[in-house]
Amino acid sequence: MMGTMGKMAALAAEPGEDAFRKLFRFYRQSRPGTADLGAVIDFTQASPARGTCPKVLSSPLSVSSVSEQDACRAGLQPVSKWKAYGLEGYPGFIFIPNPFLPGYQRHWVKQCLKLYSRKPNVCNLDKHMVAEEIPDLWGQSQELLRNKDVNKKKPRSLLEKLRWVTLGYHYNWDNKTYSADHYTPFPSDLAYLTKQVAAACGFQDFQAEAGILNYYRLDSTLGIHVDRSELDHTKPLLSFSFGQSAIFLLGGLKRDEVPTAMFMHSGDIMVMSGFSRLLNHAVPRVLPNFDGTSLPRCLEVPLPDALPAGSVAEPCSVEDWQVCAKYLQTARVNMTVRQVLATGQDWEDKEIKTMSESSCHLDDKNNEAKRARMNPNS
């Protein structure tokens, strides 16, 4: 357990360091199994009724907005069985601990690794590879991953070098715009999933128009940033986590406000709208599975052999899951989906100018120069 002097040293501010950066650095250097993580909220153990965590509030859901059949088609439990929480001082923030039906997380993991990583979607590898290498990252990685010994250092597969993929309207990080001509069809299964989750949270007319997939290794972080890209901040940003757990920091409008730390486990969903859409947030740490197994137990259950009629999920073969499981032993995948255009807006008016800081660039802990370049304000 970290001693008092050690903890004080870890939290001591560096020159010019704000409160958010100080806590970010503390959790990046934290040690699992010690008191370091004692203040991190775990929503799987939260109980507002019992007062186990004063900051955690129950969040109402619109149960009648999503039928049990539609929820099942998306691989979700009936909304009446979900638990949803908010945080005092963070209006518009909703946290839903794993509402997926057993086995269905496997579909979304496979989609992120095998399907969504394909062209014509855009990824971080595009500028570093010749065109003929890019189309099938999965095909070029599966044998290397399947036979990989996680305890031995071997050449990384292309999938292990993947850091982000964008879907739908692709954000231009150079001129900070979305545009009509930088678009690829948004995946219909992911659009359906997000529509059900948004409706359950009270957003009946949500349209999935852009997605960012982040691929984290155990040494990856997501720098401090604010999502300001979309015009209508009343439309939610939906975030889905799969694989290893992570610490998420949610701060204030300014970085001198101390953020709140929480765990994101496999299957957890976060919804941010309104006020919470404009708050600083970050991921300082990805953590090996808490119970000592290589994967969270919720990923051990396979998809049902017989999928319900109209299901957006597709079967996941044993061979495909072997690759996904080996990848997730040292990784986490996150999908964020947002609506770009305000209701009734079209592209004929003008390009949608944005002021977003980087929201999809992942940093490796051992590359400070890269982190500074990708996240100049973090």
Burial of 151 (0-12, 13-18, 19+ CB in 10 A): exposed
Q: Could you tell me how far CA 255 lies from the centroid of its own chain? A: 21
Q: What type of residue sits at position 42?
A: D
177 forms beta bridges with: 172, 353
Task: Give the separation between CA 212 and CA 358, rounded to whole angstroms.
Answer: 11
Contact 169, 163 (CB under 8 A): no
Tell me: is residue 227 an annotated ligand-binding position: yes
Question: CB atoms < 10 A from the CB of 367, how many?
Answer: 12
The count of other CB atoms within 10 Å of the CB of residue 311 is 19
Contact 371, 223 (CB under 8 A): yes
> 295: burial class by Cβ within 10 Å (0-12, 13-18, 19+)?
middle
305 annotated as ligand-binding: no
**Unique residue bearing structure tokens 């799987």:** 44
User: Do the Cβ atoms of 338 and 238 come closer than 8 Å?
Assistant: yes
Give the gyration radius of the chain's Cα atoms: 20
Q: What's the order of all strands across the beta sheet hosting 331-338?
A: 56-58, 85-87, 93-96, 269-272, 237-243, 331-338, 210-217, 164-168, 122-123
Question: 232: annotated binding-site residue?
Answer: no
Binding site feature residues for Fe cation = 225, 227, 281
Instruction: Please give the annotated binding residues, written as ranges.
Output: 225, 227, 281
